[in-house]
Chain A
Protein backbone atom coordinates (compact mmCIF):
# COMPACT_ATOMS: atom_id res chain seq x y z
CA UNK A 1 0.00 0.00 0.00
CA UNK A 2 1.40 3.33 -1.01
CA UNK A 3 0.74 6.74 0.41
CA UNK A 4 -0.21 9.12 -2.38
CA UNK A 5 -2.61 11.71 -0.97
CA UNK A 6 -4.83 13.46 -3.48
CA UNK A 7 -5.00 17.25 -3.14
CA UNK A 8 -8.33 18.75 -4.16
CA UNK A 9 -7.67 22.44 -4.76
CA UNK A 10 -9.91 25.21 -3.49
CA UNK A 11 -10.90 27.11 -6.67
CA UNK A 12 -9.20 30.53 -6.22
CA UNK A 13 -11.80 32.66 -8.02
CA UNK A 14 -15.07 30.78 -7.71
CA UNK A 15 -14.92 29.40 -4.16
CA UNK A 16 -17.60 31.78 -2.88
CA UNK A 17 -20.24 30.11 -5.03
CA UNK A 18 -19.76 26.90 -3.07
CA UNK A 19 -21.97 27.85 -0.13
CA UNK A 20 -24.58 30.56 0.52
CA UNK A 21 -22.67 31.66 3.63
CA UNK A 22 -19.66 32.53 1.45
CA UNK A 23 -21.89 34.70 -0.74
CA UNK A 24 -23.18 36.46 2.38
CA UNK A 25 -19.59 37.11 3.39
CA UNK A 26 -18.71 38.48 -0.05
CA UNK A 27 -21.74 40.77 -0.03
CA UNK A 28 -20.56 42.21 3.31
CA UNK A 29 -17.07 42.75 1.89
CA UNK A 30 -18.43 44.42 -1.27
CA UNK A 31 -20.33 47.02 0.77
CA UNK A 32 -16.97 48.47 1.78
CA UNK A 33 -16.46 49.65 -1.83
CA UNK A 34 -19.47 51.97 -1.41
CA UNK A 35 -18.29 53.12 2.02
CA UNK A 36 -14.86 53.89 0.53
CA UNK A 37 -16.38 55.67 -2.50
CA UNK A 38 -18.47 57.85 -0.21
CA UNK A 39 -15.35 58.86 1.74
CA UNK A 40 -13.72 59.91 -1.55
CA UNK A 41 -16.83 61.97 -2.34
CA UNK A 42 -16.53 63.76 1.03
CA UNK A 43 -12.87 64.56 0.37
CA UNK A 44 -13.76 65.93 -3.08
CA UNK A 45 -16.47 68.07 -1.43
CA UNK A 46 -13.92 69.50 1.03
CA UNK A 47 -11.57 70.28 -1.82
CA UNK A 48 -14.37 72.07 -3.72
CA UNK A 49 -15.27 74.03 -0.60
CA UNK A 50 -11.71 75.27 -0.24
CA UNK A 51 -11.66 76.25 -3.94
CA UNK A 52 -14.21 79.02 -3.43
CA UNK A 53 -17.99 79.65 -3.57
CA UNK A 54 -18.38 78.97 -7.30
CA UNK A 55 -16.72 75.58 -7.05
CA UNK A 56 -18.82 74.68 -4.00
CA UNK A 57 -22.08 75.66 -5.75
CA UNK A 58 -21.09 73.50 -8.71
CA UNK A 59 -20.45 70.57 -6.36
CA UNK A 60 -23.86 71.01 -4.70
CA UNK A 61 -25.52 71.10 -8.11
CA UNK A 62 -23.75 67.90 -9.15
CA UNK A 63 -25.05 66.21 -5.99
CA UNK A 64 -28.61 66.84 -7.16
CA UNK A 65 -28.22 64.90 -10.40
CA UNK A 66 -30.10 61.63 -10.83
CA UNK A 67 -26.84 59.63 -10.92
CA UNK A 68 -25.76 61.17 -7.66
CA UNK A 69 -29.06 60.39 -5.94
CA UNK A 70 -28.95 56.76 -7.11
CA UNK A 71 -25.37 56.51 -5.83
CA UNK A 72 -26.36 57.98 -2.47
CA UNK A 73 -29.23 55.53 -2.06
CA UNK A 74 -26.96 52.60 -2.91
CA UNK A 75 -24.23 53.90 -0.59
CA UNK A 76 -26.73 54.38 2.23
CA UNK A 77 -28.05 50.81 1.88
CA UNK A 78 -24.49 49.45 1.74
CA UNK A 79 -23.39 51.50 4.76
CA UNK A 80 -26.39 50.37 6.82
CA UNK A 81 -25.77 46.73 5.96
CA UNK A 82 -22.06 47.11 6.68
CA UNK A 83 -22.73 48.80 10.02
CA UNK A 84 -25.24 46.14 11.05
CA UNK A 85 -22.79 43.32 10.32
CA UNK A 86 -20.16 45.06 12.44
CA UNK A 87 -22.48 45.84 15.33
CA UNK A 88 -23.59 42.22 15.33
CA UNK A 89 -19.93 41.15 15.35
CA UNK A 90 -19.15 43.17 18.48
CA UNK A 91 -20.75 40.53 20.69
CA UNK A 92 -18.17 38.02 19.47
CA UNK A 93 -15.18 40.34 19.63
CA UNK A 94 -15.93 42.05 22.94
CA UNK A 95 -17.53 39.63 25.39
CA UNK A 96 -18.27 41.03 28.83
CA UNK A 97 -18.03 38.71 31.83
CA UNK A 98 -19.66 39.70 35.10
CA UNK A 99 -18.90 37.19 37.84
CA UNK A 100 -19.29 33.75 36.30
CA UNK A 101 -21.74 34.78 33.59
CA UNK A 102 -21.36 36.55 30.30
CA UNK A 103 -23.59 39.47 29.37
CA UNK A 104 -25.94 38.23 26.59
CA UNK A 105 -24.58 39.01 23.13
CA UNK A 106 -27.60 40.99 22.00
CA UNK A 107 -27.11 43.39 24.92
CA UNK A 108 -23.58 44.15 23.71
CA UNK A 109 -24.68 44.59 20.09
CA UNK A 110 -27.74 46.54 21.27
CA UNK A 111 -25.54 48.95 23.24
CA UNK A 112 -23.67 49.73 20.03
CA UNK A 113 -26.93 50.51 18.21
CA UNK A 114 -27.94 52.82 21.08
CA UNK A 115 -24.55 54.59 20.98
CA UNK A 116 -24.94 54.91 17.19
CA UNK A 117 -28.38 56.51 17.54
CA UNK A 118 -27.15 58.88 20.27
CA UNK A 119 -24.13 59.98 18.23
CA UNK A 120 -26.33 60.47 15.16
CA UNK A 121 -28.57 62.82 17.18
CA UNK A 122 -25.48 64.78 18.29
CA UNK A 123 -24.27 65.06 14.69
CA UNK A 124 -27.70 66.18 13.46
CA UNK A 125 -27.81 68.72 16.31
CA UNK A 126 -24.39 70.10 15.37
CA UNK A 127 -25.57 70.30 11.75
CA UNK A 128 -28.42 72.50 12.94
CA UNK A 129 -31.26 70.12 12.10
CA UNK A 130 -32.99 71.00 15.38
Chain B
Protein backbone atom coordinates (compact mmCIF):
# COMPACT_ATOMS: atom_id res chain seq x y z
CA UNK B 1 0.00 0.00 0.00
CA UNK B 2 1.35 3.42 -0.88
CA UNK B 3 1.59 5.68 2.15
CA UNK B 4 -0.96 8.51 2.30
CA UNK B 5 0.34 11.96 1.52
CA UNK B 6 0.83 14.20 4.53
CA UNK B 7 0.36 17.93 4.72
CA UNK B 8 1.04 20.58 7.36
CA UNK B 9 -2.27 22.37 7.83
CA UNK B 10 -2.64 25.74 9.52
CA UNK B 11 -5.94 26.35 11.23
CA UNK B 12 -7.15 29.64 12.65
CA UNK B 13 -9.91 28.74 15.07
CA UNK B 14 -12.27 31.08 16.89
CA UNK B 15 -12.07 30.53 20.66
CA UNK B 16 -14.50 31.69 23.29
CA UNK B 17 -14.70 30.53 26.87
CA UNK B 18 -17.80 31.88 28.66
CA UNK B 19 -16.13 31.38 32.07
CA UNK B 20 -13.12 33.62 31.39
CA UNK B 21 -13.61 35.58 28.14
CA UNK B 22 -15.66 38.66 27.32
CA UNK B 23 -14.73 38.46 23.66
CA UNK B 24 -13.78 35.82 21.17
CA UNK B 25 -10.27 35.57 19.68
CA UNK B 26 -8.55 33.49 17.02
CA UNK B 27 -6.02 30.82 17.90
CA UNK B 28 -3.57 29.39 15.37
CA UNK B 29 -2.81 25.65 15.24
CA UNK B 30 -0.36 23.82 13.01
CA UNK B 31 -1.17 20.19 12.58
CA UNK B 32 0.06 17.38 10.35
CA UNK B 33 -2.84 15.93 8.35
CA UNK B 34 -3.41 13.43 5.61
CA UNK B 35 -4.19 15.01 2.26
CA UNK B 36 -7.55 13.16 2.08
CA UNK B 37 -8.82 14.44 5.39
CA UNK B 38 -11.66 16.84 6.02
CA UNK B 39 -11.53 19.90 8.30
CA UNK B 40 -13.24 17.90 11.06
CA UNK B 41 -10.35 15.39 11.01
CA UNK B 42 -7.91 18.25 11.43
CA UNK B 43 -9.88 19.55 14.43
CA UNK B 44 -9.96 16.05 15.94
CA UNK B 45 -6.20 15.85 15.54
CA UNK B 46 -5.77 19.23 17.25
CA UNK B 47 -7.97 18.10 20.12
CA UNK B 48 -6.17 14.76 20.47
CA UNK B 49 -2.56 15.97 20.16
CA UNK B 50 -2.36 19.71 20.78
CA UNK B 51 -5.24 21.29 22.69
CA UNK B 52 -7.84 19.16 24.49
CA UNK B 53 -9.77 22.27 25.53
CA UNK B 54 -11.08 22.92 22.01
CA UNK B 55 -14.87 22.49 21.77
CA UNK B 56 -16.97 21.63 18.73
CA UNK B 57 -19.85 19.32 17.83
CA UNK B 58 -19.88 16.36 15.53
CA UNK B 59 -21.29 12.85 15.41
CA UNK B 60 -21.65 10.92 12.17
CA UNK B 61 -18.62 12.11 10.14
CA UNK B 62 -20.62 11.36 6.98
CA UNK B 63 -22.80 14.42 6.31
CA UNK B 64 -26.03 12.95 7.66
CA UNK B 65 -26.42 14.08 11.28
CA UNK B 66 -26.08 17.79 10.61
CA UNK B 67 -24.24 18.61 13.84
CA UNK B 68 -20.80 19.71 12.56
CA UNK B 69 -21.76 22.93 10.77
CA UNK B 70 -19.13 25.72 10.95
CA UNK B 71 -17.99 28.73 8.99
CA UNK B 72 -14.95 27.64 7.01
CA UNK B 73 -13.23 30.60 5.36
CA UNK B 74 -16.48 32.49 5.83
CA UNK B 75 -18.67 29.90 4.15
CA UNK B 76 -21.20 27.75 6.06
CA UNK B 77 -20.04 24.13 5.68
CA UNK B 78 -20.34 20.73 7.28
CA UNK B 79 -16.80 20.33 8.59
CA UNK B 80 -16.99 16.58 7.89
CA UNK B 81 -17.69 17.42 4.27
CA UNK B 82 -15.07 20.16 3.79
CA UNK B 83 -12.05 18.50 2.21
CA UNK B 84 -8.62 19.89 3.07
CA UNK B 85 -7.55 19.48 -0.57
CA UNK B 86 -10.04 22.23 -1.50
CA UNK B 87 -8.28 24.79 0.71
CA UNK B 88 -4.94 26.53 0.46
CA UNK B 89 -3.08 28.47 3.11
CA UNK B 90 -4.50 29.15 6.54
CA UNK B 91 -8.01 27.74 7.03
CA UNK B 92 -10.20 29.96 9.16
CA UNK B 93 -12.76 28.08 11.24
CA UNK B 94 -15.54 29.93 13.07
CA UNK B 95 -18.83 28.92 14.68
CA UNK B 96 -21.94 29.11 12.49
CA UNK B 97 -22.85 32.74 11.83
CA UNK B 98 -26.07 34.27 13.22
CA UNK B 99 -26.24 31.92 16.22
CA UNK B 100 -25.03 32.77 19.73
CA UNK B 101 -21.68 31.16 20.52
CA UNK B 102 -21.87 28.82 23.48
CA UNK B 103 -18.17 27.95 23.59
CA UNK B 104 -15.50 27.90 20.84
CA UNK B 105 -17.21 26.40 17.76
CA UNK B 106 -20.34 25.31 19.60
CA UNK B 107 -23.43 27.43 18.94
CA UNK B 108 -26.82 27.55 20.65
CA UNK B 109 -29.53 26.16 18.33
CA UNK B 110 -32.44 27.05 20.68
CA UNK B 111 -33.93 29.69 18.38
CA UNK B 112 -34.01 27.29 15.42
CA UNK B 113 -35.63 24.58 17.55
CA UNK B 114 -38.37 27.00 18.67
CA UNK B 115 -39.05 27.98 15.09
CA UNK B 116 -39.24 24.37 13.94
CA UNK B 117 -41.97 23.75 16.52
CA UNK B 118 -43.94 26.78 15.40
CA UNK B 119 -44.47 25.49 11.83
CA UNK B 120 -45.98 22.20 13.12
CA UNK B 121 -43.61 19.94 11.20
CA UNK B 122 -45.72 16.78 11.26
CA UNK B 123 -48.69 15.38 9.36
CA UNK B 124 -51.96 16.87 10.59
CA UNK B 125 -54.36 14.34 9.04
CA UNK B 126 -56.99 15.74 6.69
CA UNK B 127 -59.51 13.38 8.20
CA UNK B 128 -59.01 11.07 11.14
CA UNK B 129 -59.72 7.46 10.17
CA UNK B 130 -60.24 4.60 12.57
CA UNK B 131 -57.33 2.12 12.50
CA UNK B 132 -59.69 -0.51 11.09
CA UNK B 133 -59.85 1.44 7.82
CA UNK B 134 -56.16 0.83 7.26
CA UNK B 135 -53.22 3.07 6.38
CA UNK B 136 -53.17 6.45 4.65
CA UNK B 137 -52.04 5.62 1.13
CA UNK B 138 -49.83 7.69 -1.10
CA UNK B 139 -48.81 7.24 -4.74
CA UNK B 140 -45.17 7.57 -5.86
CA UNK B 141 -46.10 10.80 -7.67
CA UNK B 142 -47.58 12.23 -4.48
CA UNK B 143 -44.40 11.29 -2.61
CA UNK B 144 -42.18 12.91 -5.24
CA UNK B 145 -44.08 16.15 -4.83
CA UNK B 146 -42.47 16.82 -1.42
CA UNK B 147 -39.59 14.33 -1.23
CA UNK B 148 -36.84 16.83 -1.90
CA UNK B 149 -38.10 19.02 0.95
CA UNK B 150 -38.05 16.11 3.37
CA UNK B 151 -34.27 15.63 3.01
CA UNK B 152 -33.30 18.37 5.48
CA UNK B 153 -30.75 17.29 8.12
CA UNK B 154 -31.32 20.36 10.34
CA UNK B 155 -27.71 21.46 10.01
CA UNK B 156 -28.67 25.18 10.07
CA UNK B 157 -26.13 26.08 7.37
CA UNK B 158 -28.95 27.88 5.53
CA UNK B 159 -29.57 30.09 8.58
CA UNK B 160 -25.87 30.93 8.76
CA UNK B 161 -25.97 31.86 5.05
CA UNK B 162 -29.16 33.92 5.22
CA UNK B 163 -28.50 37.66 5.75
CA UNK B 164 -32.20 38.22 6.45
CA UNK B 165 -32.01 35.90 9.44
CA UNK B 166 -28.82 37.62 10.62
CA UNK B 167 -30.43 41.06 10.38
CA UNK B 168 -33.96 40.12 11.52
CA UNK B 169 -33.72 37.25 13.99
CA UNK B 170 -37.51 36.92 14.26
CA UNK B 171 -37.54 35.53 10.68
CA UNK B 172 -38.71 31.90 10.82
CA UNK B 173 -35.99 31.17 8.27
CA UNK B 174 -35.29 28.76 5.42
CA UNK B 175 -35.27 25.25 6.89
CA UNK B 176 -38.32 25.62 9.16
CA UNK B 177 -40.43 27.25 6.44
CA UNK B 178 -39.32 24.59 3.97
CA UNK B 179 -40.48 21.93 6.38
CA UNK B 180 -43.88 23.65 6.58
CA UNK B 181 -44.00 23.45 2.79
CA UNK B 182 -43.02 19.78 2.89
CA UNK B 183 -46.07 18.97 5.06
CA UNK B 184 -48.38 21.29 3.12
CA UNK B 185 -47.51 19.35 -0.03
CA UNK B 186 -48.16 15.98 1.60
CA UNK B 187 -51.35 14.36 0.29
CA UNK B 188 -52.16 13.02 3.78
CA UNK B 189 -51.95 16.43 5.40
CA UNK B 190 -54.69 18.97 5.99
CA UNK B 191 -52.78 21.40 8.23
CA UNK B 192 -51.91 24.15 5.80
CA UNK B 193 -54.46 26.55 7.26
CA UNK B 194 -52.94 26.19 10.74
CA UNK B 195 -49.40 26.67 9.41
CA UNK B 196 -50.39 29.74 7.40
CA UNK B 197 -50.73 31.69 10.65
CA UNK B 198 -46.95 31.48 10.93
CA UNK B 199 -45.95 31.08 7.29
CA UNK B 200 -47.89 33.88 5.58
CA UNK B 201 -46.60 36.67 7.81
CA UNK B 202 -43.75 39.14 7.93
CA UNK B 203 -41.74 36.80 10.09
CA UNK B 204 -42.66 34.04 7.67
CA UNK B 205 -42.11 33.92 3.92
CA UNK B 206 -42.55 37.67 3.42
CA UNK B 207 -39.33 38.37 5.31
CA UNK B 208 -37.48 36.47 2.57
CA UNK B 209 -36.05 38.70 -0.18
CA UNK B 210 -34.79 35.75 -2.24
CA UNK B 211 -31.07 36.17 -1.74
CA UNK B 212 -30.90 32.45 -2.55
CA UNK B 213 -27.84 31.79 -0.36
CA UNK B 214 -29.69 29.06 1.59
CA UNK B 215 -29.99 26.87 -1.49
CA UNK B 216 -26.37 27.45 -2.48
CA UNK B 217 -24.98 26.22 0.84
CA UNK B 218 -27.45 23.40 1.60
CA UNK B 219 -25.49 20.12 1.75
CA UNK B 220 -28.65 18.03 1.26
CA UNK B 221 -29.82 19.82 -1.92
CA UNK B 222 -33.12 20.71 -0.29
CA UNK B 223 -33.35 24.06 -2.15
CA UNK B 224 -35.16 26.02 0.58
CA UNK B 225 -35.29 29.14 -1.65
CA UNK B 226 -37.60 27.34 -4.05
CA UNK B 227 -39.94 26.25 -1.24
CA UNK B 228 -40.20 29.81 0.06
CA UNK B 229 -40.93 31.31 -3.37
CA UNK B 230 -43.64 28.68 -3.93
CA UNK B 231 -45.19 29.54 -0.58
CA UNK B 232 -45.20 33.22 -1.50
CA UNK B 233 -47.23 32.37 -4.59
CA UNK B 234 -49.79 30.22 -2.73
CA UNK B 235 -50.04 32.84 0.04
CA UNK B 236 -50.67 35.54 -2.56
CA UNK B 237 -53.39 33.42 -4.17
CA UNK B 238 -54.95 32.97 -0.72
CA UNK B 239 -54.97 36.73 -0.24
CA UNK B 240 -56.54 37.42 -3.64
CA UNK B 241 -59.24 34.81 -3.11
CA UNK B 242 -60.02 36.07 0.38
CA UNK B 243 -60.04 39.80 -0.38
CA UNK B 244 -61.00 40.20 -4.00
CA UNK B 245 -63.40 37.34 -4.69
CA UNK B 246 -66.81 37.65 -3.00
CA UNK B 247 -67.54 34.68 -0.76
CA UNK B 248 -63.98 33.40 -1.08
CA UNK B 249 -63.48 33.01 2.67
CA UNK B 250 -62.73 29.32 2.86
CA UNK B 251 -60.01 29.61 0.22
CA UNK B 252 -57.15 28.37 2.38
CA UNK B 253 -58.91 25.07 2.96
CA UNK B 254 -59.65 24.63 -0.71
CA UNK B 255 -56.13 25.50 -1.82
CA UNK B 256 -54.69 23.16 0.76
CA UNK B 257 -56.68 20.22 -0.64
CA UNK B 258 -55.58 21.02 -4.19
CA UNK B 259 -52.00 21.51 -3.10
CA UNK B 260 -51.95 18.16 -1.46
CA UNK B 261 -53.72 16.39 -4.33
CA UNK B 262 -56.33 13.80 -3.51
CA UNK B 263 -55.87 10.09 -3.96
CA UNK B 264 -58.73 8.85 -6.05
**Contact B97 A8, beta carbon cutoff 8 Å:** yes
B121 within 8 A of A: no
What is A's interface to B at a CB cutoff of 8 Å?
1-8, 10, 12, 15-16, 18-19, 21-22, 25, 29, 89, 92-95, 97, 99-102
Which listed segment binds A: B41-49, B187-195, B222-230? B222-230
**Contact A95 B230, beta carbon cutoff 8 Å:** yes
Which of chain B's residues 209-239 have a Cβ closer than 8 Å to chain A?
209-213, 215-216, 223, 225-226, 229-230, 232-233
Bound Cα distance A16, B162 (Å): 11
Bound Cα distance A101, B101 (Å): 42
Bound Cα distance A89, B16 (Å): 40
User: Beyond A5-B18, A18-B74, is A10–B141 a contact (Cβ under 8 Å)?
Assistant: no
A-B contacts besides A10-B167, A94-B233, 12 pairs, CB < 8 Å:
A5-B101, A6-B21, A6-B100, A10-B97, A22-B211, A89-B229, A92-B225, A92-B226, A93-B226, A95-B230, A97-B144, A100-B144
Q: A1 contacts which chain B residues (CB < 8 A)?
A: 18-19
**Contact B19 A2, beta carbon cutoff 8 Å:** yes
What is B's interface to A at a CB cutoff of 8 Å?
16, 18-19, 21, 23-24, 74-75, 97-98, 100-102, 108, 140-141, 144-145, 163, 166-167, 209-213, 215-216, 223, 225-226, 229-230, 232-233
Q: B140 contacts which chain A residues (CB < 8 A)?
A: 100
Specify the chain A residue showing the minimal Cβ separation from B143.
A100
Binding site secondary structure of chain B: mixed
Specify the chain B residue showing the minimal Cβ separation from A101.
B144
Interface centre among A18, A25, A29, A92 (most CB of B within 10 A): A92
**Contact A3 B145, beta carbon cutoff 8 Å:** no
Q: B209 contacts which chain A residues (CB < 8 A)?
A: 25, 29
Bound Cα distance A7, B99 (Å): 7
Bound Cα distance A4, B163 (Å): 24
Measured CB to CB, the closest approach of chain B to A1, in angstroms, equals 7
Q: A22 contacts which chain B residues (CB < 8 A)?
A: 163, 211, 213
Bound Cα distance A12, B168 (Å): 10
**Contact B229 A21, beta carbon cutoff 8 Å:** no
**Contact A12 B233, beta carbon cutoff 8 Å:** no
Measured CB to CB, the closest approach of chain A to B184, in angstroms, equals 14
**Contact B213 A10, beta carbon cutoff 8 Å:** no
Bound Cα distance A29, B100 (Å): 29
User: Beyond A94-B233, A97-B145, is A8–B101 a contact (Cβ under 8 Å)?
Assistant: yes
Measured CB to CB, the closest approach of chain B to A93, in angstroms, equals 4
Q: A16 contacts which chain B residues (CB < 8 A)?
A: 163
Bound Cα distance A20, B153 (Å): 26
Specify the chain A residue showing the minimal Cβ separation from B165.
A10
Measured CB to CB, the closest approach of chain B to A56, in angstroms, equals 37
Specify the chain B residue showing the minimal Cβ separation from A91.
B226
29 pairs of residues in contact across A and B, judged by CB atoms under 8 Å = A1-B19, A3-B102, A4-B18, A5-B108, A6-B16, A6-B24, A6-B101, A10-B98, A10-B166, A12-B167, A19-B75, A19-B213, A21-B211, A21-B212, A21-B216, A25-B211, A25-B212, A29-B209, A89-B210, A89-B229, A92-B225, A92-B229, A93-B226, A93-B232, A94-B233, A97-B141, A100-B140, A100-B141, A101-B144
Bound Cα distance A3, B167 (Å): 24
Contact of A93 among B16, B211, B233 (CB under 8 A): B233
Measured CB to CB, the closest approach of chain A to B114, in angstroms, equals 15
Measured CB to CB, the closest approach of chain A to B91, in angstroms, equals 17
Q: A97 contacts which chain B residues (CB < 8 A)?
A: 141, 144-145
Measured CB to CB, the closest approach of chain A to B165, in angstroms, equals 8
Q: B226 contacts which chain A residues (CB < 8 A)?
A: 92-93, 95
Bound Cα distance A12, B166 (Å): 9
